[in-house]
Amino acid sequence: MDPDSDSNSAASHVSATPPRTPKPKPLPKAKPKRKSTPKSEHPPVPAPSSDDLPITTLHDLPPITHRPSSSSYDSHRSTSFSTMFKSRRPSFDPSDLQSIADPPPPKQPPPSDRVDPSKIHPNWIPSSAPPELPPKRLRFSSEGNFVRLNINGHGRRRSFKTRGKGKKSMRFRRRSSKTRTEAGGGNEVEKDCLEEEGLDLENSEMLARTSSCDLVRIEEAVVAAREVPSEGNLVELLRLVYGYSSFREGQLEAIQKVVAGESTMLVLPTGAGKSLCYQLPALILPGVTLVVSPLVALMVDQLKHLPPVIPGGLLSSNQTFEEASATLDRLREGKIKVLFVSPERFLNTGFLSVFGDTPIISLVAVDEAHCISEWSHNFRPSYLRLRASQLRAKLNIKCMLAMTATATSQTLQEIMRALEISPTNLIQIRQLRENIQLFVVSSENRLKDLLMLMKTALLVDKQSIIIYCKFQVETDIVSKYLCDNNILAKGYHSSLPARDRSRVQEFFCSNKIRVVVATVAFGMGLDKSDVDAVIHYSLPESLEEYIQKTGRAGRDGRLSFCHLLLDDITYYKLRSLLYSDGVDEYAINKLLCQIFSDGIHQNGHFCSLVKESASRIFDMKEEVLLTILTQLELGDVQYLQLLPQLNVTCSLYFHKTSPVLLSIKDILISTIMKKSETKQGYFIFDITTVANCAGTTPTDLLNKLQNLKSMGEITYELKDPAFCFMILMVPDDYCSLTSHITKWLSEVERSKVQKLDEMFQVATFAVKECPKVECSGTMHTPCIQKKILNYFSRDNHTTFSNDVCTKMGQSSPFLHADIKVFLQSNSHVKFTPRAIARIMHGIPSPAFPSSTWSKCHFWERYSKIDFAVVMKAATLELMNFDKKRG
Ligand SMILES: Nc1ncnc2c1ncn2[C@@H]1O[C@H](COP(=O)(O)OP(=O)(O)OP(=O)(O)O)[C@@H](O)[C@H]1O
């Protein structure tokens, strides 16, 4: 995985993240001048990482032992959620907690409120650092919905002691309709419903009892809403489950459509309550609701926020085999109503087979649905898998709910086409939240200006502030600078240990940290209602990103303040980095030749591309390779089928029987021996090569190795993470396929650049041209809102407009001369025009990493000149240079 990428996220292939640094190339001969490229974080909804595309996925799903005998409506009805809710709850161990360095240790709560039952429910996930130190080990009557998730990758286990004795001796008596009217305020009333029989109950057990009482009412309301999904019945259910008295705009309509089985496109502003639009239907609909989410962090957060009566689970590659098995077992037993999965999960045949032919999925909710569209700010290739036709064919899914807060008209059209959503089922609330005030200030010295801003009357007394930076290094610099100036601030970015990150988030959420200086990694799914201010220390890459981040503020409806510090340097840097994913026709052609082995590979042949070496050879980021492979799978013609990623180089050691004897008994071993290199007593082979020769699949081959290992015959090690696929059709015409893919990728690139230009233009307009009729000082809410609304309602975003101010230089007197010198001084290196332009812009790439090339004299020298101009000059000079050399 890209070391710069968010550990539990997946990077958009078009993100500005500098790539991993492969093996250094020979040093250029130019004068050394060290400049490092800062690590940037990915845009809000990045693309797949090893997290969601597990490397060792072969065993990530256990074999299917049995399936529910019936998946009919009635069979699901019979698994009432009150049965599901009879779940054991986890106890957590205080010794697992460690205090975070800076914030004060959490106060020990008074005995009366030691346990907040409302915070412990079946979807509780033990993070490595729960916010409050519990006074004693809590015991719960059952474990039920608890999801074991190795979020932090430590593989650590907790023990969950259970105690069931309270259950039998409890008797419930239903009382008349005293219920809570607001979330969290109902415990007293709930206790009224219980009749105790001399038990000294712990708070948690009290919760179990009170919940059971509520459950009966909720179950009745569910049945009523299922029979007649009228506003009255749905509001009653809303009140019982969430404590809210009414729906927000768009919610009721969306829920009614989904419950009626109609696929729906829902566009609601950030914080407007989209989650509720799949949660309530999940309760009402008979089967499982699959929620497709782009990030593990987001899934975890949403799972935590599920109401206790909706048992949830998630499947993530962070989980161990046992954890994933436990989730799947609960799924088979009908104990999960909402299952969070990544889009890559749809690659996994093990996962797909859990559902078999039986129509037990009632709804697929696609969160951050804009990822489906390449014209969105966060296109993610694996979302292409979420096409209505594919989902219907593979999982018999008929109803889909697509949700987003940030989609242009163009993006919406594409989502609706992919998911076959009728235009009549588009629910769109375009308004921007009134309680967010938008400020822009032009800044020559962002650190100083930020400090001044923090000391202004607007912010000085604010309790909760997020400062967003683009680069990880900036979060360290800014937080240190603020601390040095007596403003306590904590940094947050994806390279921090997971434990520290979760603590910063938890302490921020409980108002123990006032200021967090973060990259985009902070805030995915952050639903802290009382964030007072969001400051953009770096320019966002698009208006979509701007809205997402400002949307973290004022979710409780209170007036909140969003400031943007505008500077040209960040703009130049971001614009350059947007070119880090581009590829040339020549490289794509070379890649296609390798994929199809110049036509040698037949249909049905298994192949692999080792990520690191392929990335270096073709000078393409791993994410770009994956994008191209996905396009070959899901484009107009299906040339290949992607398989789960694997480590494809296997080193095999024999322990009991000799290899020769074993190979007589086992054809697989004899194939391995034929196709292996031997080294000091062990055998090295390529998994896909052996699978092809043995006439098996790579997955089956690994399963067989696993069996031999469990018998003590062998041990083995796997390395070299690779994209694996099966050839389905060899293209007739490589040239036209190459130019088709090149054109598509370059349009995606142009669209990203245009989005940045438009963001820059809006901010520049605010500081330089705003007539200040409605705006005043640095406050530009009216003019920015108008521009944003116009942007999102505009029809054609793929028409690249020349009106967008680029601020980029279009020529330079020394450009050609410098390229000539550069080529002469590096005559031993083979360049492409793009590689030269990248070096001139200071953009690292897999074949030209910054560790080597940032020492070059010309590194970043032309970052203020349009990339296309530099590339054109490089093309010309490269041709001249080659001509001269003959
Ligand atoms: N009808 C309602 N009445 C009151 N509060 C509500 C209602 N619906 C949702 N909420 C609350 O609004 C908050 C935001 O909801 P949610 O997280 O679903 O927003 P979202 O639209 O998914 O936002 P984002 O796009 O930023 O993730 C939650 O705390 C939720 O409980």
Other Cβ atoms within 10 Å of 478 Cβ, number: 24
The rounded distance, in Å, linking the Cα atoms of 371 and 746 is: 18
365 CB neighbour count, 10 Å cutoff: 27
Instruction: Determine the distance separating the centroid of ligand 1 and the alpha carbon of 272, expressed in angstroms.
Output: 5
Half-sphere exposure of 143 (CA within 13 A, CB side): 13
pLDDT digits (tens, 9 = 90+) for 391-441: 888 888 889 999 999 888 889 999 999 999 999 999 998 777 889 999 999
Count of CB atoms situated within 10 Å of the CB of 732: 9
Q: How many angstroms does the Cα of residue 433 sit away from the middle of ligand 1?
A: 13
Give CA–CA dist 253/266, Å, rounded: 10
Q: Is the CB of 273 under 6 A from ligand 1?
A: yes
Between strands 288-292 and 338-341, the pairing is: parallel
Say yes or no: CB of residue 270 within 6 Å of ligand 1.
Answer: yes
Per-residue model confidence (pLDDT) at position 343: 86
Q: Is 43 touching ligand 1 by the criterion CB < 6 Å?
A: no
Q: What pLDDT, on a 0 to 100 scale, did the predictor assign at position 625?
A: 95
Residues of the chain whose pLDDT is less than 70?
Answer: 1-213, 347, 356-359, 524-525, 598-599, 601, 795-806, 886
Ligand 1: does its nearest atom lie under 6 Å from the Cβ of 406?
A: no
> For ligand 1, is residue 505 a contact (CB within 6 Å)?
no
Predicted local distance difference test score (pLDDT) of residue 521? 82
**Alpha helices in 485-542, H assignment, sequence order:** 498-509
658 CA to centre of ligand 1 in angstroms: 63
Residue nearest to atom 11 of ligand 1 (CA): 273
**Ligand 1 test: best mutation among 252, 276, 299, 544, most atoms within 8 Å of CB?**
276
- How much distance in Å is there from the Cα of 274 to the middle of ligand 1? 6
Q: Is the CB of 469 under 6 A from ligand 1?
A: no
Q: Give residue 808's pLDDT.
A: 77
Residue 276 CA, ligand 1 centroid: distance in Å: 7
Cα(275)–Cα(57) distance, integer angstroms: 29
Pocket flag, ligand 1, residue 268 (CB < 6 Å): yes
CA atoms within 13 A on the CB side of 742: 16
Query: What radius of gyration do the chain's Cα atoms show?
Result: 28
Is-contact 24 71, C-beta < 8 A? no
- Rounded-to-integer distance, Cα 322 and Cα 414, Å: 38
pTM over 0.90, yes/no:
no
Which residue's CA lies nearest to atom 16 of ligand 1?
A: 273
CB 253 within 8 A of CB 241: no
pLDDT at 806: 64
Name the percent of the chain in helix, strand, coil, to the closest 5.
40, 15, 45
Q: Is the ipTM of this complex over 0.90?
A: yes
**125, 502 Cβ separation under 8 angstroms:** no
